[in-house]
Amino acid sequence: MITEIGAFAAVLALALSLLQGVLGIVAPRSDANSAAMRVAALAGAFLVAIAFAALVVAFVRSDFSLAVVVGHSHTDKPLMYKIAGAWGNHEGSMLLWCLVSAVFAAALAWRRGTQDEGLWRRAVGVQGFVTAGALVYTLFLSNPFARLDPAPMQGAGLNPLLQDPALAAHPPMLYLGYVGLSVPFSLALAALIEGRADQNWAKALRPWTLAAWTCLTLGIGLGSYWAYYELGWGGWWFWDPVENASFMPWLAACALVHSAIVTERRGSFAGWTVLLAIIGFGLALLGTFLVRSGVLTSVHAFAVDPRRGIAVLVLLALALGAGFGLYGWRARTLGRASGFAAVSRESMLLWNNYGFAVAAGIVLIGTLYPMLVEAAGGGLISVGPPFFNATVAPILAALFLVLPFGPMLTWRAGDLGAAARALWPALTAALLTLAATLVASHGRAAPAIGLAIGVWLVAGGLVYFWVRLRRGEGGLLRKIVLLPLAVWSMSAAHIGAGVLTIGAVGETGFRSERAAALIPGESVDFAGRRVTLLEIGAWEGPNYSATRANFRVERGADVRTVSAERRFYPTAAAPTTEVGILSDFDGDLYLALGEPAERGSAAWIVRIYHNPLVQFIFGGVLLMTLGGALSLLALLRRSGEA
Amino acid sequence: MRRRDQRLIMIAIAAAVLVTAIMLTLVGLRSSVVYFVKPSELAEKAQSGRRIRLGGLVVEGTLRRTGTVAQFSVTDGATIVEVRYDGLLPDLFREGQGVVAEGTWAPGEAFAAERVLAKHDENYMPREVTEALKQGGEWRGGRPP
């Protein structure tokens, strides 16, 4: 019964979102139409929420008359993963996509912000069509409410790799980011239809862009963290096409967050900001296509129905066609350009956008190249980490070299000499890092330069913070309290980027690993530590059985124990690895338990990794997320006052 | 400096960055792309020292371990290739099932794998393996994934 209500609610929501689109784009402008559009958006969001709740209830109650529940749930599963199972599959995740889009449409409809009436109703209208497109795809090509008759007694269970807290939160965060980019897209199309992208328009755009960027950052970070501790391969980023699918919209969002600032403060870059908003959502849709179509060979590619891939491509073509078409036709009507010098805040933000755009382009080429080669009959190839490390890293390094100058320069024309004088402590710290790393690593240039750039970003961010703090009035405490939120947020985000760089370079450049066959009681020396296998035994979890190994790790006087497991989920008939991780400030010791070395032998294969500075990666992501959240808070507070 | 000169300098830097990026991309695509080969193509397509991906079925009863080193044979139905790998095999590695090994090969030696990828779940086969098996006439499954 609840299922029927859910399916019915989703169909009604489709009708309402179409109505919302028609009222915003086609219907003549009137107060009655605007009021009706607002009601349609709110009611639509409410109905999609009911549909999604119905699906969650079906998962919680293990209603095996639903095909998705049978395919992805099991009565033995802990409650948390029954709930998370609702979006841990293709159909449910598409319904989540619809839910986010509809809720954003309602929020956009309800909060007019500083927008004028004309732009506002166009944007809500476009958002209505975006939601409608997602609902059509969900209801007709991946219906989560499809029944099975007769209903089986038991389900197939959720892939055990996905039964994990970080991964329960990863899809909703990522979707908030992906779909969050649909609002800037709607605002961009509204600007093109109305023929203006002025400073007020950019003011309305910025909170949405920041919210999307913040959620994407955290979502990608969670996915990376999960891959690090759950897959047992010792790595955190594999340049897998699925990772690239989320990395490309993130790069576009990075550029958009910054270009929208210029459009708001100076009125410049209006056309470019509009174009970026279209490209950003286009890349988010492309990401959805890559992940959901099955063209990729990955754990994410659970859709094997080619019609779905084609349908996403059609939606992508519609969105990009409308976006680029309108842009080509109307871009000349947008905004005005105001001049700026080669050394100014504007020019720095221009370089920022240039760097992110070039990086996104390279990732796009590297991701699509294998598909193009295969389609052209050139055989099967894969483009992996060596390509991306050799291309994306230098571009980002160049971008990060100029980054600390940006916040130090004023609008229109900045004083490069003054900025350089203020930044000299950061430069000193970076050069010292470079020299020290070169000596310690016996002349390995690439990681030394990378670490130096990370330190340059962190120290540069601290210098900016200090300069702004000194400018305040009164005592130190008063200065700290009165410091604008925007300064806090920018410092946190830029320092976070530096911390992430330090971690990424340190882990990639200096990680070490070794495999050993150990009998209980036996030891192996590795990375300045002595690792001893203490014992191996059986262990029963709530819905799995495991082989657990306990290790003792001695590092000088510091002695700790850690365990690693191989888990067997009977519902999945496949083992998974639970690694043991010992974290220190300077890195992780990471232990994965393999299989018995030989048949009948008491020795087990153990793989040990030393991942230096790996915490900096996730710490940097958290700092960047914090920066985004603080900036969002500052913008919302400002628009509340206005 | 005049506005116009400043603009010219910025355009010159932008062009230099773009040219560098294009060069890096082209060189990268030439040198770091990893080709996928079937066991029967190995002798013809592999250049010694160059990384390739070898895909096929693990031959039943060929998995042997010595300490941390695993050795097994991979086939596409036509040719059998010996693979040597020092490290942990993935959780889903099974004899008789699909596998992709990435590494290098030289004539007269076993394929030296640096990474071994098994299918990600029980319903899923790496697409490269499916292609290899279909071409080798070994495909027994239903519709290809």
Convert the pLDDT of each residue in A128-163 to its tens digit: 999 999 999 999 988 999 888 788 888 877 777 777
Do residues A192 and A156 touch, judged by C-beta distance below 8 A?
no
Query: For the complex shown, is ipTM > 0.90?
Result: no
Strand partners, B70: B65, B85
Nearest to B10 among A347, A594, A605 (CB): A347
pLDDT on residue B137: 54
Distance CA A182, CA A212 (A): 9
pLDDT over threshold 70, residue A61:
yes
Binding-face residues of B in 106-135 toward A, CB within 8 A: 120-122, 126-128, 131
At residue A295 the predicted structure's pLDDT band, cuts being 50, 70 and 90, is: low
A104 or B66, higher pLDDT = A104
A51 or A172, higher pLDDT = A51
Best of B4, B25, B30, B92 to disrupt the A interface by mutation (most A CBs within 10 Å)? Answer: B25
Do residues B73 and B80 touch, judged by C-beta distance below 8 A?
yes
List the single range of A72-86, A209-223, A302-316 with lowest mean pLDDT: A302-316
Residues of B in contact with A592 (CB under 8 A): 88
Q: How far is CA A487 from the centre of its chain?
A: 24
Do residues A363 and A286 touch, judged by C-beta distance below 8 A?
no
Q: Is the CB of B3 inside 8 Å of chain A's CB atoms? A: yes
Q: How far is CA A538 from the centre of its chain?
A: 37
pTM (two decimals): 0.91
At residue A574 the predicted structure's pLDDT band, cuts being 50, 70 and 90, is: low
CB within 8 Å: B29 and A605: no
pLDDT over threshold 80, residue A485:
yes
- A531: part of which helix (H) or strand (E)? strand A529-540
Mean pLDDT of A259-265: 93
pLDDT on residue B145: 33
The token pair that represents A85 in the structure block: 């199972």
CB within 8 Å: A361 and B65: no
Distance CA B76, CA A316 (A): 38
pLDDT on residue A560: 94
Sequence-distant (6+) residues with CB within 8 A of B128 are A297, A380, B36, B53, B55, B100
Distance from CA of A380 to the nearest CA of B (A): 5
Interaxial angle between packed helices A2-25 and A117-141, expressed in degrees from 0 to 180 and rounded to the nearest 10: 140
Q: Residue A470 corresponds to which amino acid? A: R
Secondary structure of chain B: what % helix, strand, coil (to 5)?
Answer: 30, 30, 40
- B96: part of which helix (H) or strand (E)? none
